[in-house]
Amino acid sequence: MKRVLAFAALAVCALAGPVTAPRPPKLIVAIVIDQFRYDYLWRFRTDYTAGLARLLNQGAVFTDAHHVHYPTVTAVGHSTFLSGATPSSSGIIGNEWFDRESGESVTSVSDPGTRLVGGAPGALGSSPHRLLVSTVGDELKMAGRHSKVIGISIKDRSAILPAGHAADAAYWYDSDSNNWVTSTYFMNDLAAGVKEINGQHWFQKYLGASWLPLDAKDDNAPPFCTMVNGNDSVRYCGSLEATPWGNEMIEEFTERAVMNENLGHHDDTDLLAVSFSSNDYVGHAVGPDAPEVRDISIRTDRLLGRLLDFIDQHVGAANTLVVLTADHGVAPVPEVNQKRKMPGGRISGFAMLRAVSEALSTKYGAGKWIDGGSDDGVYLNRKLIMQKKLDLEAVQNTVADLLKTQPHVFRVYTSIELARGQVTGDYVSQAALRGFFEPRSPDVVVIQDPYYLFSPTGTSHSTPFNYDSQVPVIFMGAGIQPGEYNEKIAENDIAPTLTTILRLEEPSGSIGRILDEMFR
Ligand SMILES: [Zn+2]
């Protein structure tokens, strides 16, 4: 009996003993699918046969992974991915916000000190200068590793923010010139390989094309959309980015980058961050329940399969660590929800701002009281408040009190409340706190009721609710134990897990933990 117990104790020790992180791979492929809800993994599972199927079968699949900040939007999701930081330290509080210093609206990556390289001459460039923290790639570089760090996407923010400050390059697609571009922040002249790609004018093969469903029986089936503007019978796709072809271009560009940069063949680990943007454009237009979303999800599975096969061939599966996630989810289209007796609807942000403006004019006298808006709130005209010798807190409270009476407003926080931490302790307030960075955040933060949208058409995302916050997190590679992991994790856990595998310091703003339950 004693011996049985001793064996049992040994077995427990073996199970609970220290685990060693996998050895650093030659290449990390860090993939974001823009607006890819967690449930898309399972909704369309039987249709996946390629990349997503492989990740689900051979990867460590985290089934309860969330973005834990508010607002859940593209720039914030991408800045979190490889920094492990929340906006409260990264400074990336949204896609756009009102910059109090310059008095202008800025984007998360717009940088007047840079110019586009490869696009229209003299066009304004982008850089990571508003990102205040380091990324995994930055830690590689600061540690003096001989690594290449490259970011690729259709959107500038989605290429730049995961790659970080010290990256060798971030490339994105400029729809004005139909060229792949970068900015003078990274280099003054495009690499020869990228010039060659631009010379091939990939976009031309999609001119006038129609997006046919994969399920279409023949070419006469009704298309989802067409690139011919002014055709009343079929929806206009809008742009190349808003079709699966945007993702195809990203995949093709990524293959070229692997070859041109010789990724996975340097002394130390290379890092390739790729973000597939087209899922987001399509999702905004038609919503998660539309057949287009199923179709582009299946096409994404195939593209990822193609990319992983290519990397197997040129770098080797045993030398590669893949991590896949999304920057946020998305809400159902309100009208679709209403039909199935679910809550939801649309609220007018314009009407709300007008009500705020009128209330302030009535109480404090006429004036331009609002400076701007962002993904999550209202910026008050602080100069006017100072001129009139008003108390900022009193004015913020006036606005908050009014907004709380508006229909379908779920929570309102003033920046002074958030700065003092005077909020309730639930996860919604915690998300608002994590999303709050005083120098940049709005004066009054607004969160709408679940399933309610400020968008007049289609659908959107930004809330802390699960449909917006829950995303796939899958790791796959040597030393990773495949299977489903059901413990709740945060997107912020990805970056410190990677730096642990790389034997590096954690990125400077990371709040995540190491997902060592998946280490073999
Ligand atoms: Zn996004």
Consecutive H or E run containing 298: helix 291-314
State the distance from the centre of ligand 1 to the C-alpha of 342, rounded, in angstroms.
25
State the distance from the centre of ligand 1 to the C-alpha of 71, rounded, in angstroms.
11
pLDDT the model gives residue 1: 47
Looking at the chain, how many residues does it have? 520
State the distance from the centre of ligand 1 to the C-alpha of 411, rounded, in angstroms.
23
State the distance from the centre of ligand 1 to the C-alpha of 334, rounded, in angstroms.
19
**Each residue's pLDDT expressed in tens, for the chain with a length of 520 residues:** 445 545 444 444 455 678 899 999 999 999 999 999 999 999 999 999 999 999 999 999 999 999 999 999 999 999 999 999 999 999 999 999 999 999 999 999 999 999 999 999 899 999 999 999 999 999 999 999 999 999 999 999 999 999 999 999 999 999 999 999 999 999 999 999 999 999 999 999 999 899 999 999 888 889 999 998 887 788 999 899 999 999 999 999 999 999 999 999 999 999 999 999 999 999 999 999 999 999 999 999 999 999 999 999 999 999 999 999 999 999 999 999 999 999 999 999 999 999 999 999 999 999 999 999 877 899 999 999 999 999 999 999 999 999 999 999 999 999 999 999 999 889 999 999 999 999 999 999 999 999 999 999 999 999 999 999 999 999 999 999 999 999 999 999 999 999 999 999 999 999 999 999 999 8
State the distance from the centre of ligand 1 to the C-alpha of 297, rounded, in angstroms.
15
The DSSP code for 259 is H
Strands (E), 34-95: 60-66
State the distance from the centre of ligand 1 to the C-alpha of 38, rounded, in angstroms.
14
Residue type, 191: A
Annotated catalytic residues are 74
pTM: 0.95
State the distance from the centre of ligand 1 to the C-alpha of 172, rounded, in angstroms.
15
pLDDT the model gives residue 13: 46
Q: What φ, ψ does residue 179 adopt, rounded to 5°? A: -115, 155
State the distance from the centre of ligand 1 to the C-alpha of 77, rounded, in angstroms.
7
pLDDT the model gives residue 467: 98
Exposed e or buried b per residue across 52-74, where buried means at least 16 C-beta atoms within 10 angstroms of its C-beta: bbbbbebbbbbbebbbbbbbbbb
State the distance from the centre of ligand 1 to the C-alpha of 375, rounded, in angstroms.
12
State the distance from the centre of ligand 1 to the C-alpha of 295, rounded, in angstroms.
18
Judge contact between 151 and 162, C-beta under 8 A. yes
Classified as helix, coil or strand, 134 is coil
- CA–CA dist 73, 84 (Å, integer): 16
State the distance from the centre of ligand 1 to the C-alpha of 276, rounded, in angstroms.
9
- CA–CA dist 451, 408 (Å, integer): 10
In terms of Cα–Cα distance, which of 413, 371, 363 is closest to 388?
Answer: 363
Classified as helix, coil or strand, 85 is coil
Antiparallel, parallel or unpaired: β 96-99 and 110-117: unpaired
* Cα distances (angstroms) measured from residue 190 to each of 185, 221, 260, 460: 12, 41, 12, 35
pLDDT the model gives residue 500: 98
- CA–CA dist 289, 294 (Å, integer): 8
